[in-house]
Amino acid sequence: MTRTVTSVVDGQPVPGDRTVASLNPADLDDAVGEVSLAPGRIFTAAAVVARNAQRAWADVPAPVRGRAIAHIGRVVEENAESLARLVTREIGKPYAEALGEVREIVDTCDFFLGEGRRLYGQTVPSEMPDKQLFTFRNPVGTVAVITAGNFPVAVPSWYIVPALLTGNTIVWKPAEYSAVVSNAFHDLFVKGGGLPDGVFNLVHADGADTYAGLQESLELGYIDKVGFTGSSEVGREIGALTGRHLQTACLELGGKNPLVVTPSADLDLAVEGALFSGFGTAGQRCTSLGTVIVHESLHDEFLRRFTAAVDAAAVGDPTQDVLMGPLLDAKFAERYEKFLGWVQPQHTVHGRTGRITSGNPRDGFVGDPAKGLYYHPVVVDGVRPGDELFDQETFGPIVGVTSYSTLDEAIDLANAPGYGLSSSIYTTNPADAFAYRRGISAGMVSINNSTSGAEAHLPFGGNGKSGNGSRQSGMWVLDQFTRWQSVNWDYSGRLQKAQMDVADLDADLGFRLDDQP
């Protein structure tokens, strides 16, 4: 039987007004489930429920909320393999990667379970006697979280875990093409973790209805913060919408992530990093490698080794030991076909392009390519600024290569597309590493590591077209979901006016030391 998943509001399933199928992209004959999509009014209703539940949730002592996060982490850990298998089935992510993604939920919970006892404020000395100054972290209120499906469980946890820990309630709108995984994630948090009804609500809706519901919820004052992971284009719209309500969204957007190879680089290590960051998850990460920027003295040798590694990589059935499986969904396959159309006569394409079929085969393919949305991994040499392949994010298994002569030129090339999420440099020269770190606009820099890979206790986020400077993960994300409140307590029994009733010590500013021989 095909499972039908619905929105869950105040602990109750809420059917939508139409259904769509969620298909396994590795086997399009396998319907993972049907998704009941809700109209915008359901999003608004969920925001009302979340808002009504927020005060009681915030009144739960923060250490107790931390214990709730601890329980969720243990429940996810006990269900890790089942959840990872579902991730692989619904979005086609290779199982090893899917299991690592589930582990990231556990790591995030492990970090934040202790933050319930460390939501520190400060005592601040006053400039006047008999007066004390304090600061407190307060929850923002009700948070709308809208996430993509390429990381259907790890990325939502980056928002939802710290938001819950700090006393906020949630309305979560995941991607339609990962809806079955999303319901499993929600069940683990609510049924497994024991969250009260109304604290964490799930809404399945398409983009237009989500925007309409979010807009109405903001206008009526039901939503206090928006977290969004997705494309730069949609991120601009979310940012503009929240800005009209004097809110700043937490935006984690796309990337055109550079990897610089210097003359001192370990070439084999650089090739390994480029292969994983370029083609892991079939290039469908916000941190996927966009362009390799390799020193002109190494260009030909790097390209030889890199293309050989791509040709030898295992591609196919994501339940097997492969580097990459299918594209996530038919809409991404259609978009990727457009990206392939950006190849120009001045570019050199290495290997086959397009969908893998019996007429367009890939040597060593694992499984049956006719079953799913499988595409050839592609390396395109000779990309330069002004080329769409160089300037724009290409969400799929395609990597550009270009060359440079000086490190300053490499940094200029790395910054040229205007994104600023992740970046990498391969070098054994500390001076090059620090010069690159100083000059690159990206929010994340890897030295002798790939552009992909996040740890739960390090800030994650980008600048420019990759985001608005907000950061997720670690203690830095607390600033997204809390607001500082300052308190001054005057127990002097009289009105003391700051900057006016302040005592001062008299100083002799004309004092000079005697000249001594």
Helices 207-219 and 232-243: crossing angle in degrees, nearest 10, is 20
Residues 6+ apart with CB under 8 A from 438: none
> Which of these is catalytic: 252, 296, 301, 409?
252
The DSSP bridge pattern shows strands 398-404 and 378-381 to be parallel
Residue 252 falls in the annotated catalytic set: yes
Rounded to whole angstroms, the Cα distance separating 302 from 256 reads: 20
Rounded to whole angstroms, the Cα distance separating 256 from 119 reads: 35
Question: Scanning the structure block, which residue is given the tokens 């869950």?
Answer: 8
* Radius of gyration, CA atoms only, the chain: 26
Rounded to whole angstroms, the Cα distance separating 102 from 212 reads: 31
Tokens of residue 473, six digits: 């993960």
CA 375, 339, 229, 47: dihedral to nearest 10 degrees? -100
The beta strands (E) that lie in 131-199 are given as 131-139, 142-146, 169-173
Is the backbone of residue 467 left (phi > 0), alpha (psi -120 to 50) or beta?
left
Starting from the edge strand earliest in sequence, which strands make up the sheet with 4-5, in order? 4-5, 27-37, 18-24
Phi then psi for 251, rounded to 5 degrees? -110, 125
Rounded to whole angstroms, the Cα distance separating 339 from 321 reads: 27
CA distance to 52, 81, 211, 368, per residue, from 48 (Å): 6, 35, 16, 48
Rounded to whole angstroms, the Cα distance separating 95 from 190 reads: 25
Tokens of residue 513, six digits: 């030391």
CA distance to 86, 154, 437, per residue, from 150 (Å): 13, 10, 28
Tokens of residue 439, six digits: 């000059």
Amino acid at 181: V
Rounded to whole angstroms, the Cα distance separating 252 from 198 reads: 26
The closest alpha carbon to 290, from 324, 258, 253, 332, belongs to 258
Phi then psi for 9, rounded to 5 degrees? -125, 125
What residues are labeled active site?
Answer: 252
